[in-house]
């Protein structure tokens, strides 16, 4: 029922390596993207007209930049960013280049996620903190981020799954992972069973990430009665 | 002492400008409980928010202990705010922090050493009667308990002032009473000057020494609570204190009778007996009665028919059956 090729992929460990590559690329890219996206999202929410420190020009400028990156389809962005990858990791091919692409695509997305999480923080709580003489920096670090934490975690789960979806396109620039297996072995050699195995594995990885993430989010949210 | 001089605050919205406060002048003395009462939208919240400059006035001055707050730098203002506690109708506790860590929050902000801060927070939880809830989260508390935590938090930095914006408006009467008692204790034992915002006259009546009545962005009346209560000057104060006076329920406009219940009788049959026995219809304009252990307390305001023969019959009946009544002058 299964092709010999699939058996070979499993026995040689190529398939397991692909799973690991997918997970690794996804998590690493998301993590790096957060280093850029989190501060960006905080600045977007804080400088908004309704934020705790409105700075209209900065808010609009960042908003426009984020929107431009968000509106470019990933596949186009990838081609456009080949030189950037070359600049950053010295090559425009393979997994390392793919991580650069994923970070560029995910950071603006994450910025918007973070922005909306912070905007959900109860205005009354912010007001109470301001009335207590909280400085703007501490308002961010001690009130906005901790109060938004459960929502930030949910955002992180959604972002991770999105990045995982993008990472499946790694094959187009010679990267690895389950997407690459599906294309190079399943599609190009017309081995449908390989394609399906890859699809199922990706679904499983997504499910596991989703489940673990949501469980963490629920556990750390103290708003629900326990 | 808090002094507000010629304060004006205007909001600019898409639909136009709105004057929330217009030429407000008032002083709040040390050690007093000062009430500010008015209907919804009168500008009460805006006024308290101007005291700690959460809202910056467009004109006028805010003085606190001889310092002009409008002239302070940002840094100095943060310092001043640590000396003014504030509590709210919606409690505004940090939901992801435990009760204890909520009370610790202002102490963290003011760089109080850890050990001292914990000690102080525990003392305060003891004071508000929630020592056993230190590790609970706000979502696990009742409204009254949340407000107690908010009070403990507001007092953590040992402020000399406490601003309460509708602090009891979301609570039931019993809980309201216990929170008001707590505020009184804080005022008496710690000497904290308290500003109470409310739209309920009962709150003013219960704990305030002086009151300002605010209506449509203006202070229309100000004075000692018992004087304002005994002799309200403005229409709005009369409406708030004597909710029945302006009522338009009456179409016939006959004499009005106030039945007072001070525990001697049960009120329920009085009105129905009166109507049945006299054969005269009456209008209940206002009723505020409580049944305690089967005894009636409170009062009912009745409007009698315009026809003097009919109203005379009712009054004669009352003379015989319900001695504690009074004819209201209109
Ligand atoms: N940030 C704001 N922007 C625009 N208008 C505002 C703002 N804050 C208050 N207002 C307006 O100012 C007026 C006074 O509002 P304020 O909240 O002080 O009333 P209040 O007396 O506290 O009423 P309530 O009893 O309902 O709390 C209202 O008409 C309100 O709509
Ligand atoms: Mg208000």
Look at residue B259 in the predicted model and tell me its pLDDT.
79
* Cβ separation B157–A138 shorter than 8 A: no
Q: How far is the CA of B88 from the centre of ligand 2 (A)?
A: 9
Kindly determine whether residue B106 and residue A142, on different chains, have CB atoms separated by under 8 Å. no
Strand order in the sheet with B193-198: B84-88, B161-165, B193-198, B33-37, B210-215, B218-224
pLDDT per position as a tens digit, A166-208? 998 888 888 889 988 888 888 888 888 888 999 999 999 999 9
- Out of B184, B206, B241, pick the residue that ends a domain: B241
Residue B57 maps to a domain: yes
Q: What is the pLDDT of residue B133?
A: 96
Closest CA to B198 of B179, B185, B188, B187: B179
Judged by a CB distance cut-off of 8 A, whether residue A218 touches chain B is no
Which candidate, A80, A109, A77, A102, places its Cα nearest to that of A175?
A: A102
Q: Does B18 touch chain A (CB under 8 A)?
A: no
Question: Percentages helix, strand, coil for chain A, rounded to the nearest 5?
Answer: 80, 0, 20
Q: Say whether residue B152 is in contact with chain A using an 8 A CB cutoff.
A: no
Structural domain contains residue B248: no
B37 CB less than 6 Å from ligand 1?
Answer: no
Question: Are residues B233 and B269 part of one domain?
Answer: no
Clarify whether residues B300 and B324 are in a common domain: yes
Pairing relation of β-strands B218-224 and B193-198? unpaired
Percent of chain A whose pLDDT exceeds 90: 76
Task: Among B8, B20, B165, B197, say which to mutate for ligand 1: greatest number of ligand atoms within 8 Å of CB.
Answer: B20
Tell whether B210 is within 8 A of chain A (Cβ). Answer: no
Q: Is residue B246 part of a domain?
A: no
What CATH number should be reported for the domain holding residue B206? 3.40.50.300
Test the A interface: residue of B109, B150, B163 with most A CBs within 10 Å: B109
How large a percentage of chain A has pLDDT more than 70?
A: 99
pLDDT of residue B140: 95
pLDDT at B295 over 70: no
Residue B252's pLDDT band (boundaries 50, 70, 90)? low
Higher pLDDT pick, B318 / B250? B318
What is the distance in A from the centroid of ligand 2 to the CA of B83?
Answer: 22
In short, whether B216's Cβ falls inside 6 Å of ligand 1 is: no
Alpha-carbon distance of B171 to B177, in angstroms, equals: 9
CB within 8 Å: B81 and A225:
no
B44 CB under 6 A from ligand 1? Answer: yes
**What is the reported pLDDT for B293?**
64
- The CA distance from B96 to the nearest CA of chain A, in Å, is 5
For residues B96 and B235, membership in a common domain is answered with yes
Nearest CA to ligand 1 atom 25: B40
Pair B139, B209 in one domain = yes
Torsion sign (Cα): B38, B39, B40, B42: negative
For residues B116 and B260, state if they share a domain. Answer: no
Are the beta carbons of B78 and A143 separated by less than 8 Å? no
Q: What is the pLDDT of residue B26?
A: 94
In which region does residue B191 sit, left (phi positive, over 0), alpha (psi from -120 to 50) or beta (all else)?
Answer: left
Q: Where does the pLDDT of residue B167 fall: very low under 50, low under 70, confident under 90, or very high at 90 and above?
A: very high
Q: Which of these ranges, A210-224, B50-64, B187-201, B236-250, has the smallest mean pLDDT?
A: B236-250
Res. B248: pLDDT tops 50:
no
Domain count, chain B: 2
Check whether residue B175 and residue B287 sit in a common domain.
no
Both B183 and B315 in one domain: the answer is: no
Domain limit, last residue, from B212, B241, B270: B241
Q: Is the predicted pLDDT of residue B173 greater than 70, yes or no?
A: yes
Q: Are B152 and B266 found together in one domain? A: no
In a domain, B298, yes or no: yes
Say if residue B47 is in the same domain as residue B188.
Answer: yes
CB B37 within 8 Å of CB B240 = yes
Is any Cβ of chain A less than 8 angstroms from the Cβ of B81? Answer: yes
How many angstroms separate the CA of residue B78 from the nearest CA in chain A? 4
**Whether residues B278 and B166 fall in one domain:** no
Tell whether B207 and B322 lie within a shared domain: no
How close is the Cα of A208 to the center of ligand 1, in Å?
Answer: 48
| Closest to B91 (Cα-Cα) out of B138, B155, B140 | B138
Supply the range of the domain harboring residue B269. Answer: 253-328
CATH for B299:
3.30.70.260
Q: Is the C-beta atom of B81 inside 6 A of ligand 1?
A: no
Q: What is the pLDDT of residue B245?
A: 46
Query: Which chain B residues contact residue A118 at CB under 8 A?
Result: none
In a domain, B218, yes or no: yes
Mark whether B274 and B190 lie in a shared domain. Answer: no
- From the CA of B214, give the closest atom in ligand 1: 21
Residue to mutate, B7, B11, B58, ligand 1, most ligand atoms under 8 Å from C-beta: B11
Residue B221 inside a domain? The answer is: yes
Helix (H/G/I), strand (E/B), else coil: A9: helix
Of B208, B241, B274, which residue sits at a domain end?
B241
End-to-end CA distance of chain A: 50
B307 and chain A in contact, CB less than 8 A? no
The ligand 1 atom at the shortest distance from the C-alpha of residue B43 is 18
pLDDT tier at B244 (50, 70, 90 boundaries)?
A: low
Q: Does A125 touch chain B (CB under 8 A)?
A: yes
Q: How many domains does chain A have?
A: 1
Least Cα separation, residue A125 to chain B (angstroms): 5
Residues spanned by the domain of A124: 4-225
Establish if B115 belongs to a structural domain: yes
Name the residue among A137, A142, A107, A108 with its Cα closest to residue A35: A107
Q: Which residues of B touch A217 (CB under 8 A)?
A: none
pLDDT band at B239 (very low <50, low <70, confident <90, very high): confident
Kindly report, residue by residue over A56-95, the tens digit of the pLDDT.
999 999 999 999 999 999 999 999 999 999 999 999 899 9
Show residues of chain B in contact with A222, CB under 8 Å.
95-98, 137-139
B136 interface with A at CB cutoff 8 Å: no
pLDDT in tens, B93-129: 999 999 999 999 999 999 999 999 999 999 999 999 9
Half-sphere exposure at residue B60, Cβ-oriented, CA atoms within 13 angstroms: 23
CATH of the domain at A148: 1.10.3720.10
Rg (CA), chain B: 24
pLDDT tier for residue B250 given thresholds of 50, 70 and 90: very low
CA of B18 to the centre of ligand 1 (A): 9
**Bridge partner residues of B256 (DSSP):** B303, B328
- Alpha-carbon distance of B172 to B174, in angstroms, equals 6
**Is the CB of B92 less than 8 angstroms away from the CB of A224?**
no
Contact between chains at B109 and A133 (C-beta distance less than 8 A): yes
> Separation of B208 CA from ligand 1 center, angstroms?
23
CB contact at 8 A, B301 and B257: yes
Q: Does residue B34 lie within any of the structural domains?
A: yes
User: Contact A138/B78, CB-based, under 8 Å?
Assistant: no
Q: Which of B78, B90, B94 sits opposite A147 (nearest CB)?
A: B94
Cα distance from N-terminal residue to C-terminal residue, chain B: 41
Beta-carbon contacts below 8 Å between A and B: 80
Q: Is the CB of B46 under 6 A from ligand 1?
A: yes
């Amino acid at each position: 029922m299964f092709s010999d090729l699939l058996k070979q992929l499993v026995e040689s460990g190529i398939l397991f390596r692909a799973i690991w590559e997918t997970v690794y690329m996804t998590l690493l890219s998301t993590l790096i993207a957060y280093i850029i996206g989190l501060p960006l999202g905080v600045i977007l929410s804080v400088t908004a007209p309704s934020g705790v420190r409105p700075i209209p020009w900065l808010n609009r400028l960042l908003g426009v930049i984020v929107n431009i990156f968000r509106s470019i389809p990933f596949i186009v962005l990838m081609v456009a960013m080949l030189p950037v990858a070359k600049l950053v990791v010295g090559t425009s091919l393979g997994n390392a280049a793919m991580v650069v692409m994923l970070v560029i695509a995910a950071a603006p997305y994450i910025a918007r996620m973070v922005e909306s999480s912070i905007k959900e923080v109860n205005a009354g709580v912010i007001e109470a903190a301001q009335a207590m003489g909280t400085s703007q920096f501490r308002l961010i670090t001690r009130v906005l981020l901790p109060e938004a934490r459960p929502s930030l975690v949910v955002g992180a789960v959604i972002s991770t799954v999105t990045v995982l979806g993008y990472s499946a396109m790694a094959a187009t620039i010679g990267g690895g992972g389950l997407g690459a297996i599906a294309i190079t072995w399943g599609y190009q050699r017309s081995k449908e069973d390989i394609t399906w195995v890859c699809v199922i594995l990706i679904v499983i990885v997504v499910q596991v990430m989703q489940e673990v993430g949501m469980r963490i989010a629920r556990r750390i949210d103290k708003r629900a009665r326990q | 002492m808090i002094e507000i001089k010629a304060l004006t605050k205007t909001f600019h919205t898409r639909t136009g400008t709105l004057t929330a406060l217009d030429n407000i002048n008032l002083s709040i003395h040390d050690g007093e409980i000062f009430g500010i009462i008015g209907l919804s939208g009168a500008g009460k919240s805006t006024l308290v928010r101007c005291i700690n400059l959460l809202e910056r006035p467009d004109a006028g001055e805010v003085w606190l202990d001889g310092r002009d707050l409008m002239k302070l730098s940002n840094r100095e203002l943060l310092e001043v705010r640590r000396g003014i506690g504030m509590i709210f109708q919606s409690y505004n506790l940090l939901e992801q922090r435990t009760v204890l860590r909520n009370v610790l929050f202002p102490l963290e902000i003011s760089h109080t050493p850890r050990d001292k801060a914990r000690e102080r927070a525990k003392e305060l939880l003891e004071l508000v009667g929630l020592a056993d809830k230190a590790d609970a989260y706000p979502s696990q508390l009742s409204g009254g308990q949340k407000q107690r935590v908010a009070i403990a938090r507001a007092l953590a930095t040992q402020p000399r002032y406490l601003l309460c914006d509708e602090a009891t408006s979301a609570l039931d009467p019993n809980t309201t009473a216990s929170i008001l008692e707590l505020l009184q204790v804080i005022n008496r034992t710690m000497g904290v000057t308290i500003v109470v915002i409310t739209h309920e006259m009962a709150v003013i009546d219960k704990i305030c020494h002086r009151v300002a009545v605010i209506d449509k962005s203006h202070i229309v009346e100000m004075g000692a609570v018992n004087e304002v209560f005994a002799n309200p000057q403005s229409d709005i104060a009369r409406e708030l204190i004597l909710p029945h006076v302006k009522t338009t329920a009456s179409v016939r406009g006959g004499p009005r009778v106030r039945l007072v219940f001070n525990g001697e009788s049960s009120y329920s049959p009085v009105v129905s007996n009166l109507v049945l026995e006299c054969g005269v219809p009456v209008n209940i304009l206002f009723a505020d009665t409580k049944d305690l252990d089967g005894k009636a307390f409170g009062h009912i305001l009745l409007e009698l028919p315009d026809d003097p023969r009919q109203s005379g019959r009712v009054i004669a009946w009352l003379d015989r059956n319900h001695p504690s009544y009074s004819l209201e002058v209109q």
